[in-house]
Amino acid sequence: MAALHDFIDTEKTYQLVVERFNSDSLPQNNVVNKAIDMNPELIELILDLYNNEEDFPFEKMKKFSIEEILTYLQATHHYYLSKKLPEIEQSLVHIFSKYGQSHQLLATLAYFFNDYKTHLVEHIRMEEKELFPYIQKLIAASKQPADALKPTEKPNFSIQQFIDSHSPIEDELQEVSQLIRRYSGDESIPLPYKIFLNQVELFELELRKHAIIEDYVLVPMALELEHKLI
């Protein structure tokens, strides 16, 4: 996707990655506040992932703790819900105010985006309510002395269950950009649509990187912990 690469330069990528740690975009009195002290080495490595995911050195991630990875992912979820989604919605409102009468694409676009938003919020909620608390329990248990570990009944959640149900939520978003491009055909796309398109494409890229960290960094770490404990 050449257009997208032109749009994202190093400085923008850096901004995109560190923006989620700004204190005003973080929830108050939440565990996520710790993210402000995010390990700079981890941020550096995540930036590398944004720049080039093909040769990403996953083994280098092993030196960070699972808590650090979890904190990063939580801050990122919050950033999506409190900043990225509202920004995209704002653009959609702007397009409506300008082209509401004339473009039939809009109804489809708004429907699609709302539907997408529901799926994304559900996806994040499942991770926040089931996966992350489960991992936090594993972390807490791993810090207990071995003889203090009581045999517990089988938990009703497992990392394997997460692996089986973790859907590529970013793929759906790709359809939005395809929809606009298909509709526009050879005509030039009006500026507000271009802005919206850029936001959607950036967000799609963002969600892909997020899923890579979940699937290839967090999950292997959590599986290892689970195997030791359960």
Which positions lie near Fe ion, rule CB under 5 A? 127, 214
Of 221, 112, 213, 98, nearest to 172 by C-alpha is: 112
Least separation in angstroms between residue 165's CB and Fe ion is 10
Least separation in angstroms between residue 6's CB and Fe ion is 28
The angle subtended at Cα 90 by Cα 35 and Cα 210, nearest 5°, is: 35
- Report the distance separating Cα 227 and Cα 198, nearest Å: 42
Largest Cα–Cα separation, the chain: 70
Least separation in angstroms between residue 38's CB and Fe ion is 17
Residue 127 vs 226, nearer CB to Fe ion:
127
Residue 180 vs 208, nearer CB to Fe ion:
208
Residue 13 vs 74, nearer CB to Fe ion:
74
Residue 77 vs 92, nearer CB to Fe ion:
77
Which spans in 58-184 are helix H?
66-79, 85-99, 105-126, 132-142, 159-165, 169-184
- Structure-block tokens of residue 54: 């093909």
- Structure-block tokens of residue 68: 């650090």
